[in-house]
């Protein structure tokens, strides 16, 4: 049976030749050609015959096929029109797959969920994401607070490490906190370049994001909280005090900023990468209370 799977070098090459398909660099197309890796991703995602799955960028259908085998229903978003006839052929045997020709960044995903899945169904996003657009896609999906349980995605290793990073590490930054405010993040698998066609120049990892029911911290203003975090990492080598002085110079004197740090019990000589999300929340709330009302 495994010989018929899409995710093999020979079957992928056969399809590329049959449809005279040329990879588009602008779409970050790297197709998976290893069934074991795909089955591992599906296992990590927690896909069962009861669950629904949303896929982004199915390509020729390698992951889609495995999702169709293991899940109740699969809805896949594909932006590249050239792949639609290929998907029609490769997924012909599966009646539980819906392909939507749409840009995920412009799609109303919540509406798609209501249309294609049972009410209250356990839904997971599972995808091999184009590396050039990973962060915008994931941030859109988590910020939209979609009714999904988790997102399990193959992405560039360096980005996965940043999203799952903890304080006091080189990878920890504003992206780590933004992702972890909405989800519990963990790297569940590292994947070698050899399982892709064409081979990418970077290493890959599978990142699992489990949606939180509640954020781990309470903040008075979410937008300001994230602005403060971005500012705190603006120049990583500088102290928190320096970054804050630059960020708040139009609104507060340096002495006032020093008072904010004291009230939040944070040493201004520390760097942003040493602060926990709780400390950032505390500092954001202290400062936000004193911000001039516009």
> Would you say 30 is a known binding-site residue?
yes
C-alpha distances in Å from residue 130, one per residue of 56, 170, 244, 281: 9, 24, 35, 32
Q: What is the pLDDT along the chain (294 residues), one digit of tens a residue?
A: 444 799 999 999 999 999 988 877 666 678 899 999 999 999 999 999 999 999 999 999 999 999 999 999 999 999 999 999 999 999 999 999 999 999 999 999 999 999 999 999 999 999 999 888 899 999 999 999 899 999 999 999 999 999 999 999 999 999 999 999 999 999 999 999 999 988 888 899 999 999 999 999 999 999 999 999 999 999 989 999 999 999 999 999 999 999 999 999 999 999 999 999 999 999 999 999 999 876
Known binding residue 203? Answer is no
272 is in an annotated binding site: no
120 marked as binding residue: no
Cα–Cα distances in Å, from 75 out to 67, 121, 159, 261?
10, 13, 25, 48
Domains and CATH numbers, the chain: 2-211 (3.40.50.150), 222-290 (1.10.8.100)
Known binding residue 242? Answer is no
Q: Is 243 annotated in some ligand binding site?
A: no
């Amino acid at each position: 049976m495994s010989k018929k799977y899409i995710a093999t070098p020979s079957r992928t090459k056969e399809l590329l030749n049959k449809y005279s398909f040329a990879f588009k660099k602008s779409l970050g197309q790297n197709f998976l050609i290893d069934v074991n890796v795909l089955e591992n991703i599906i296992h990590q995602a927690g896909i069962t015959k009861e669950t629904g799955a949303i896929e982004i960028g199915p390509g020729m259908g390698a992951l889609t096929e495995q999702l169709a085998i293991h899940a109740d229903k699969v809805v896949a978003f594909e932006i590249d029109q050239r792949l639609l006839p290929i998907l029609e052929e490769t997924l012909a045997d599966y009646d539980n797959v819906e392909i939507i020709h749409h840009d995920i960044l412009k799609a109303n995903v919540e509406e798609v969920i209501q249309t294609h899945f049972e009410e209250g169904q356990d839904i997971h996003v599972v995808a091999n994401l184009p590396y050039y657009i990973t962060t915008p896609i994931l941030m859109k999906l988590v910020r939209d607070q979609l009714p999904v349980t988790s997102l399990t995605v193959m992405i560039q290793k360096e980005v996965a490490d940043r999203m799952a990073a903890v304080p006091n590490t080189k990878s920890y930054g504003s992206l780590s906190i933004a992702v972890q405010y909405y989800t519990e993040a963990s790297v569940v698998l590292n994947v070698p370049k050899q399982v892709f066609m064409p081979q990418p120049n970077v290493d890959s990892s599978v990142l699992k994001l489990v949606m939180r029911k509640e954020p781990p911290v309470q903040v008075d203003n979410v937008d300001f909280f994230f602005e403060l975090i971005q500012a705190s990492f603006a120049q990583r080598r500088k102290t928190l005090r320096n970054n804050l002085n630059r960020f708040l110079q139009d609104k507060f004197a340096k002495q006032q900023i020093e008072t904010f740090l004291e009230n939040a019990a944070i040493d201004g000589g520390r760097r942003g990468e040493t602060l926990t999300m709780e400390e950032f929340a505390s500092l954001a709330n202290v400062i936000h209370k004193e911000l001039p009302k516009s």
